[in-house]
């Protein structure tokens, strides 16, 4: 017997509109330059700038984060 909870969970969330609602909330979440955030694996960071990049023909907005501990930058 094979149990696939992930597939069933996604279907029920889609059916109830919960997943769609969460995605819309996430899209509306706006970060501003200077905001403090936590990035997994690297820790505390500050939003340094917003940039639009074209990668493989697709234009997307990225946040440039400057890590507090080691002054490294990460595009998210």
What does residue 75 show for φ and ψ, rounded to 5 degrees? -90, 130
SS3 label, residue 27: helix
Q: What was the pLDDT predicted at 27?
A: 63
Provide the residue range defining the domain that includes 41.
Answer: 31-76
Judgement on whether residues 6 and 26 belong to the same structural domain of the protein: yes
Q: What was the pLDDT predicted at 57?
A: 92
SS3 label, residue 73: strand
**Domains: count for the chain:** 2
Q: Per the confidence metrics, is the pTM higher than 0.75?
A: no
Each residue's pLDDT, cut to its tens digit, for the chain (76 residues) gives 444 444 454 444 455 566 667 666 666 668 889 999 998 888 999 999 999 999 899 898 889 999 999 889 999 8
Judgement on whether residues 38 and 56 belong to the same structural domain of the protein: yes
Judgement on whether residues 70 and 38 belong to the same structural domain of the protein: yes
Judgement on whether residues 56 and 76 belong to the same structural domain of the protein: yes
């Amino acid at each position: 017997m094979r149990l696939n909870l992930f597939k069933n969970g996604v279907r029920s969330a889609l059916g109830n509109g919960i997943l769609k609602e969460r995605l819309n909330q996430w899209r509306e979440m706006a970060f501003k330059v200077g905001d403090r955030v936590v990035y997994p694996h690297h820790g505390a960071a500050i939003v340094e700038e917003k940039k639009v990049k074209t990668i493989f023909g697709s234009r997307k907005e990225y946040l440039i984060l400057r890590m507090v501990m080691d002054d490294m930058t990460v595009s998210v």
